[in-house]
Structure 1
Amino acid sequence: MLKFAANLSMMYPEHAFLDRYAAAAADGFAGVECMFPYESPAAFVRERMNAAGVAQVLFNAPPGVVARGERGLAALPGRQAEFQAGIEQALSYATALACPNVHVMAGRVPDGVSREAMLDCYRENLDWAARQARSAGVTLLIEPINTRDIPGYFLNRQDEAHAVVQAVNAPNLKVQMDLYHCQIVEGDVTAKLREYLPTGRVGHLQIAGVPLRQEPDRGELDYGWVFGVLRELRYGGWIGCEYRPAGSTSTGLRWLAAARA
């Protein structure tokens, strides 16, 4: 059976963040993910997670200064000390929340910095971070993101992400394959799933309708077909529901009942 995790940064916006754990559990989610859990102490988050009876399966490492438009530090030369401090904070939260996966964002391409310099920095930072995460029992994930949602983002394509993972060659570094981003940048989602899932390098999937990033049953991508392909390929990992509900989150979950049927 496919395993779906509610993304609490996007779903259940009618509730305060910590209250979303109980809301997701009430709708039958056994797992949750979020972008950044750092506004509350990890112990408070763990208390709500335990009370709801759900597992935290993913969150992001600190992305830098969001107010300045930063979306990750991993590929930014000269920011290594900040990157390392962020990884240490993320691993502290991952340990406290028993969370197995942390997404590490690459960042936007700065003016005047070559792609080669960024790629070298990216690989070195990921190699260091993967070694720290390995001792904590955590898998790090990198995600190709479309440049419509995040203009100038460094990592955009599945083949680029897999090449980085292969170059770093750490057993706990994998690709987070978001089918919303994949459809916008590359399309041909079924072929991409058939190509990359059997490699073992995909550690997490995410879904959303395209192009509006709403429920998976809205838009141009047929998730009924996609879920059939995932079953055929025997995908056993989590599927994060990273979308913005068109209305009430719970009312919009008709797609989930159909996927579980």
Structure 2
Amino acid sequence: MSTLKFAANLSLLFTERPLIERFAAARTAGFNAVEIQFPYDLTLEQIKQALDTQQQTLVLINIPAGDWAAGERGLACIPGREDDFSAAVDQAIDWARALSVPRLNCLTGIPPASAPEKQVERTLIHNLKLAATRCAQAGIELMLEAINTQDMPGFYLNGSAQTIELIQRLELPATRLQYDVYHMQIMEGNLISTLQQNADKIGHIQIADVPGRHEPGTGEINFTNLFKALEHLGYSGHVSLEYIPKGQTEDGLGWLKTWMTQD
């Protein structure tokens, strides 16, 4: 019997329904844990009621990342937006406290082409120290995620070693790597080796296959070996399904039956 715990990302799964209805759909599919990239279009009351009704936990949300429609993918590395980033951190912490969310993901963003590199770095350092300190004070773990530069050209953090080095160099409290298997397969491969070498530095794992960002079994990643490696490492966090289903969400969950142990 598998020891792994799985969570459904409600921003990408069950999108045949409005977001508020996806909690129930996930519970019917067997998930007692969910995550949402940006839950802020709903109200706290709506989400709390859905979680209570479905007896689910919300294991992760993202810090607001700016104007997504305008191309912003995070505010942490954008000079001149420090006040906006600070407000986004406070909002996310308020939501995490209200909904008992144990960790927040920070997208560092894409620096403006016109901004000097040193200014971008100073801005990022200031913002990450602020976010990590506030999260630590609130008893919340801060995640930093590396994202591939094919899907998101110019994204500041795009590798595991780069992200871990930054966390260690800045001595960020309560901060770990959010390891996204999809992004890291594209950028660096060596998934199992990276997990083995950095098990204590990884706070959350997300999965999707490559290419296409679809469910396991649709691409090149050997998820059986990957999951066995996570079990061997004693990984106790959640493995979140953050993929784009090729068809209806429920039709693509057959691969999970071997691994799903939650009730």
Question: Are 1:251 and 2:254 counterparts?
Answer: no
* Structure 1 position 53, deviation (Å): 0.8
* Structure 1 position 259, deviation (Å): 2.4
Number of the residue aligned with 1:20 = 22
Separation in 2, partners of 1:123, 1:61: 16
- Number of residue pairs matched? 259
* TM-score where L is the length of structure 2: 0.95
Number of the residue aligned with 2:193 = 191
Number of the residue aligned with 1:99 = 101
Question: Are 1:216 and 2:216 counterparts?
Answer: yes
Separation in 1, partners of 2:19, 2:163: 31
Q: Could you say what secondary structure the match of 1:260 adopts?
A: coil
Residue number among 11, 14, 26 corresponding to 2:13 in the alignment: 11
Q: Could you say what secondary structure the match of 1:250 adopts?
A: helix
* Structure 1 position 92, deviation (Å): 0.9
Separation in 2, partners of 1:245, 1:120: 39
Q: Could you say what secondary structure the match of 1:81 adopts?
A: helix
Percentage of pairs with the same residue: 38
Native 8 Å contact 1:58 1:101 kept in 2: yes
Number of the residue aligned with 1:52 = 54
Native 8 Å contact 2:133 2:173 kept in 1: no
* Structure 1 position 173, deviation (Å): 1.0
What are the ranges of 5 or more consecutive residues in structure 2 without an aligned counterpart?
Answer: none
Q: Which has the higher contact order (CA 8 A, sep 6+)?
A: 2
Question: Are 1:239 and 2:239 counterparts?
Answer: yes
What letter is aligned with 1:152? Answer: G
Number of the residue aligned with 1:80 = 82
Q: Could you say what secondary structure the match of 1:181 adopts?
A: helix
What are the ranges of 5 or more consecutive residues in structure 1 without an aligned counterpart?
Answer: none
Q: Could you say what secondary structure the match of 2:58 adopts?
A: strand
Residue number among 143, 146, 152 corresponding to 1:144 in the alignment: 146
- Deviations along 1:88-126, one digit per CA (max 9) or x if unpaired, are 111111111100011011111211223333223212211
- The structure 1 segments of at least 4 consecutive aligned residues displaced by more than 6 Å after TM superposition are none
Separation in 2, partners of 1:91, 1:41: 15
* TM-score where L is the length of structure 1: 0.96
